[in-house]
Structure 1
Amino acid sequence: MAYFVLPGRGKRVYRLAIARRIVDATARGPRDRTGPGLARRRTRVLRRALRPSRRLQIGLGPWLRALPARLPDPALTAALAELDPYVRVAYVLLRIEGLPKYAVRDQLRELRVRDPWPVIDAACAVEIPVPRRAERFDPAHLRPVRTRSVLPLVTAAALTTALVGVLIHTGSGRPGGDAAPVLRLAAAPPSAWTRGARTLDAWPARGDLTGDRAFLRRAAAAWAAAGDGRRPGGGTAQLLYAGRAGGAPLALLRHGDRVARYAPPGLDVLAAGADPSAPIALGGGRYLLAPWDAAPRTLAGAALPVRDGVVAPAPARTPCGRGPLFHLGDRTLGYLGGPRAAVLTYHSPAYAPAGRPVPPARLGPGAVRIWNRLGCLEPPRARAVTAAMAWEFWSGTLPHGGASAGWFCTRTTYADGGGAGTSTLLAGRPRDTGACDARRPVSGTWWQAPSGRWYYLAAAASGLVPRARGPLGPATTAHRLLVARPQDRPNVPVALTAASR
Structure 2
Amino acid sequence: MQQATAAAQPSGGAGREPTDAAEPLAVEDAEAALVEHYPRLVRLAYLILPAGLGRHRRVLLAHRLAQRTLPRSRRTVPGSIAHPDPAYALLRQEVVRGALGYGRPLTGWRRRLRSALVAAPLPPIVVGLRLFPPAGGAEELALDHRLARLDAPARAAYALRGLEELGERDVAELLGAAGVSEPLKAVREAASAADGAADARLLTSAEFDPCTVQARPTDLVRRRQHMRAGSAAAAAVAIALVVFGMPGSDDGGFGSATPEGAGQSVLAQALDPAKLVRAAPDAWLRSSRLDFSAWPARGNRVDDTALLRRALDAWAQPGASVHVSVTPGTAQTPPTASPQLLFAGDVDGAAVVLMYDGMRIVRYAEPDGGNGGGEALDFARVDGAWGSSASAVVIDRSDSNARYLTAPWVTGVQLRDLLKPDASVHEVKRSVEGVTGPVPGPVPASAAASASASAAGAGAGATSDGACGTAGVSWPVMQLTPHSGLPGLQPFLLTDLGDLTPVHLTYATGDGTQQGEATGQQALASWAHSACRLDSVRGEGVRSVSTWDFADQQLPEGGGSASWLCTRADTWAGTGHVLIQFLPPGAAAATPASVVAGSQDSRACGRYSPDVLSGALWKAPSGRWYLLAAGSAGVQSISATGGLQHSQNGRMLAVPAQRSTHAQLSAGLSDGSTLPALR
TM-score by length of 1: 0.54
Residue 292 of structure 1 deviates from its aligned partner by 1.9
1:414 to 558, 561, 571: 571
Residue 392 of structure 1 deviates from its aligned partner by 0.7
Letter matched to residue 317 of structure 2? A
Q: Which residue is equivalent to 2:359?
A: 257
Please state if 1:344 is matched with 2:505: yes
Deviation per CA, 1:107-133: give whole Å up to 9, x if none.
xxxxxxxxxxxxxxxxxxxxxxxxxxx
Aligned equivalents of 1:406, 1:200: Cα separation in 2: 39
Judge which range, 281-290 or 223-232, deviates more.
223-232
Gaps in structure 1 of 5+ consecutive residues: 1-177
2:440 to 296, 307, 315: 315
Change (3 A) 1:212 1:404: farther
1:215 to 307, 315, 318: 307
Gaps in structure 2 of 5+ consecutive residues: 1-263, 325-330, 367-374, 417-423, 446-473, 483-489, 588-592, 673-679
Residue 458 of structure 1 deviates from its aligned partner by 0.8
Letter matched to residue 282 of structure 2? S
Aligned equivalents of 2:346, 2:595: Cα separation in 1: 42
Change (3 A) 1:392 1:316: farther
How many positions carry a matched residue from both structures? Answer: 319
Residue 496 of structure 1 deviates from its aligned partner by 4.1
Alignment of 1:14-163 (within 5 A): none
CA contact (8 A) 1:424 1:432 kept: yes
Deviation per CA, 1:63-113: give whole Å up to 9, x if none.
xxxxxxxxxxxxxxxxxxxxxxxxxxxxxxxxxxxxxxxxxxxxxxxxxxx
Q: Which residue is equivalent to 1:437?
A: 605
Please state if 1:188 is matched with 2:359: no
Residue 252 of structure 1 deviates from its aligned partner by 1.3
Q: Which residue is equivalent to 1:95?
A: none
Aligned equivalents of 2:631, 2:549: Cα separation in 1: 10
Residue 459 of structure 1 deviates from its aligned partner by 1.0
Aligned equivalents of 1:294, 1:477: Cα separation in 2: 52
Residue 467 of structure 1 deviates from its aligned partner by 0.5
2:548 to 363, 369, 391: 391
CA contact (8 A) 2:495 2:505 kept: no
Change (3 A) 1:358 1:401: closer
Q: Which residue is equivalent to 1:306?
A: 430
Aligned equivalents of 1:241, 1:484: Cα separation in 2: 60
Letter matched to residue 275 of structure 1? A
Identity, in percent, stands at 29
Aligned equivalents of 1:193, 1:207: Cα separation in 2: 18
Aligned equivalents of 2:438, 2:287: Cα separation in 1: 31
Aligned equivalents of 1:400, 1:473: Cα separation in 2: 20
CA contact (8 A) 2:596 2:615 kept: no
1:363 to 519, 533, 545: 519
Change (3 A) 1:230 1:319: same
Please state if 1:281 is matched with 2:281: no
Residue 363 of structure 1 deviates from its aligned partner by 1.4
Residue 437 of structure 1 deviates from its aligned partner by 3.2
Alignment of 1:214-253 (within 5 A): 214-226=306-318, 230-253=332-355
Aligned equivalents of 1:266, 1:316: Cα separation in 2: 20
Aligned equivalents of 2:494, 2:300: Cα separation in 1: 27
Deviation per CA, 1:399-418: give whole Å up to 9, x if none.
45867632112233334555
**3-state SS of 1:470 partner:** strand
CA contact (8 A) 1:297 1:304 kept: yes
Aligned equivalents of 2:411, 2:352: Cα separation in 1: 24
CA contact (8 A) 1:472 1:485 kept: no
Aligned equivalents of 2:298, 2:288: Cα separation in 1: 19
CA contact (8 A) 1:224 1:234 kept: no
CA contact (8 A) 1:386 1:415 kept: yes
Q: Which residue is equivalent to 2:157?
A: none
CA contact (8 A) 1:471 1:488 kept: no
Change (3 A) 1:480 1:451: same
Alignment of 1:454-493 (within 5 A): 454-462=625-633, 464-473=635-644, 475=646, 480-486=651-657, 489-493=660-664
Aligned equivalents of 1:207, 1:403: Cα separation in 2: 56
Change (3 A) 1:403 1:327: farther
Aligned equivalents of 1:498, 1:298: Cα separation in 2: 42
Rg (Cα) greater in structure = 1
Residue 421 of structure 1 deviates from its aligned partner by 3.8
Q: CA RMSD for the aligned pairs?
A: 3.6
Please state if 1:206 is matched with 2:359: no
Runs of 4+ in 1 over 6 A off after TM superposition: 476-479
**3-state SS of 1:215 partner:** helix
Change (3 A) 1:291 1:418: farther
Change (3 A) 1:487 1:405: closer
